[in-house]
Amino acid sequence: MKRTVRYFKDSLRKESVEIEYDDEVPCVICGEPVIAASMGGTVVCPWCDCGKCRYCGISITVLKEEIDGGKSKREVLEHMKWHREREPERNNQLLILHRQLDAEDKEGMKQWK
């Protein structure tokens, strides 16, 4: 689903830029759907941005490929595959929940306009 996020260019929030993204595109780190924009942008899911597994909450760290030859990214992808195979509906539930919360936020913001 196409979504829009606004990032502020300065700390005073005077200038901003809106970016359109697809919430079902895979995260460049874990390969799972992005679901929501994060401070890291629209190509990294919020969980990877915070260094946590979306399924079990363990800390994950991915180093640049030049540093570890891609080992840490492979380990994260294997970890996510393990969850995906055991909990196939979990991502769909997260996507539905996020969309419901987003709709509620938009409805709540209408009263302030």
For 5, 8, 110, 112, the CA distances from 13, given in Å and listed in that order, are 14, 6, 20, 18
pTM equals: 0.69
- pLDDT given for residue 24 in this prediction: 85
**C-alpha dihedral over 90, 87, 58, 62, to 10 degrees?**
-90
- Per the document, the length of the chain is 113
Helix and strand tally (H, E) in the chain? 4, 2
- Over residues 1-40, the pLDDT tens digits come to 788 888 887 777 778 888 888 888 899 999 988 888 888 7
- pLDDT given for residue 23 in this prediction: 83
- Over residues 37-80, the pLDDT tens digits come to 888 788 899 899 999 998 888 998 899 899 999 999 999 999 99
